[in-house]
Amino acid sequence: MWWWSDPGGGLGQAQPCGHRGAAAARRAALAEGRIDAALIVAPPGDSPAQMRFLPLRQEPLVLLAPPGMEDLPPEEVFARLPLIAYDPQSWGGRIAERYLADRELAPQRLCALDGLEAISALVKSGAGASVVPDWPGLEGARPLPDGHLHARRIVAALPLRSEAASSAASSSRASRPPKPRSPPWRRQSPDCRRPRSTKTPAPRSIPGPRPAAPIRCGR
């Protein structure tokens, strides 16, 4: 299971982190804002209100049977062998439980495991049979009747808060008034403007002191 965490607040700098655990825990981390995105197994039904799912792949249910029993129907396989159940606490395990219940199959249970590789190894040894999602790398898996109707969905889970913030930013940009354009007479190239005069102004003359008025004497 993978998720993306970005302490900086922008998905452009998000750091991918790997973890194997319950999808419910990853969904809770998304809802609390501790991670920004996750690849998880989608729960049955619609996506939760606080997030959206982007579908990536579907994994229909398949039958895991020991060598030599691949061509037998599931009813006959489980009449001879116990069920190695996929953990019913996981979403994939719940889907497998619902398939068995819909077909009225109630085999004896050997154990329940949450690792598909471990289940495949036990089946290969002849310890039992199992119904699991068609996960890449499983040996001896064959399609089940109506298995595509009980498929496990792998999705990218994203919190709606990121989408809402992005929509708000787009709306804010769209609501801004356009910048006023300059009149055409102001959008002239520098070559079309009137050159400044390069003449040096003539020096201004400074008048000298006025001559003193004559002094008149009385008789």
pLDDT in tens, 83-115: 999 999 888 899 999 999 999 999 999 999 989
pTM above 0.85, yes or no: no
In this structure, what DSSP letter does residue 129 have? B
Which residues, in sequence order, are CB contacts of 46 under 8 Å at separation 6+? none
| Mean of pLDDT values over 182-190 | 55
Question: Domain residues of the chain, as ranges?
Answer: 1-59+153-163, 61-143
Reference 5, options 32, 41, 23; nearest CA is 32
Pick the CATH number of 61-143 from 3.40.50.80, 3.90.550.10, 3.40.190.10, 3.40.50.300: 3.40.190.10
Helix intervals (H) in 83-139: 91-102, 116-124
Burial 194-215 (b: 16+ CB within 10 A, else e): eeeeeeeeeeeeeeeeeeeeee
**pLDDT of 146 strictly over 90:** no
Collapse the DSSP code of 6 into the 3-class scheme (helix H, G, I; strand E, B; otherwise coil) and give the result.
coil
pLDDT in tens, 49-78: 677 888 999 999 999 999 989 889 999 999
Q: Which amino acid is at 52?
A: R
